[in-house]
Amino acid sequence: MSQTIGKTRLAYSRTWHHVDVGTDGRSLGRVASSIALFLMGKHKPIYDPSTDCGDYVVAVGCHDLRTTGKKRFQKKYYTHTTRPGSLRSMTMDKMFEKWGGGEVLRRAVRGMLPKNRLREKRLARLKTFEGLAHPYKANIVKFGNQSVIGNMPEVQQAFKEAKVSA
């Protein structure tokens, strides 16, 4: 018999968060760390390091990522194919030109996720876009920490019928 009390299916459901990197005043590392927390599910009361209970994150406006100092021109990203002499380096500026700001943000978030079997699954739930348009508009439930569904008229009516305050 299960010892779990409550609506576990609702607790484990994955919500979609919208992060506008362009209008967010935080730098790359601070935005990436908050995205990593959403992907891991640390904002939920049911968080467990061994289970994947995180949410989806849609990051838009990645072409306007903010960095401090001279990181844009001095930070290097390294790749290696495990063959002798195949170490390649690329500056952040070249990375922006070649793959865009979404790849820079993805790599920053990847470095902040735990190094275990769940890392790639969690990272697959991060969707990055250079502009503001994206195909996941119908799925978005939260803009930052603001809930979108709580303001809908149908939900307000359901709350009134159930006599619950939003």
Task: Label residue 76 left, alpha or beta by phi (over 0 means left) and psi (-120 to 50 means alpha).
Answer: beta
What integer pLDDT is reported at residue 140 of this predicted model?
85
* Mean pLDDT rounded to a whole number for the chain: 88
Residues ≥6 apart with Cβ < 8 Å to 101: 21, 62, 63, 64, 65, 128, 130
pLDDT band with cut points at 50, 70 and 90 for residue 164: low
Q: What is the DSSP string of 111-122?
A: HHS-SSTTHHHH
Instruction: Write out pLDDT tens, residues 41-54.
Output: 999 888 999 989 99
Bridge partners (DSSP) of residue 127 are 58
Helices (H), ranges, 2-152: 8-12, 28-40, 71-74, 92-98, 101-112, 119-124
Instruction: Write out pLDDT tens, residues 88-107.
Output: 999 999 999 999 999 999 99
pLDDT band with cut points at 50, 70 and 90 for residue 166: low
pLDDT band with cut points at 50, 70 and 90 for residue 160: confident
Asked whether residue 6 carries a pLDDT value surpassing 70, the answer given is no
**Percentage, residues of the chain above pLDDT 90:** 67
Query: How many angstroms separate the CA atoms of 8 and 21, rounded?
Result: 32
Domains of the chain, earliest start first = 9-165 (3.90.1180.10)
The pTM of the full predicted model, rounded to 2 decimals, is 0.82
Closest CA to 66 of 42, 101, 40: 101
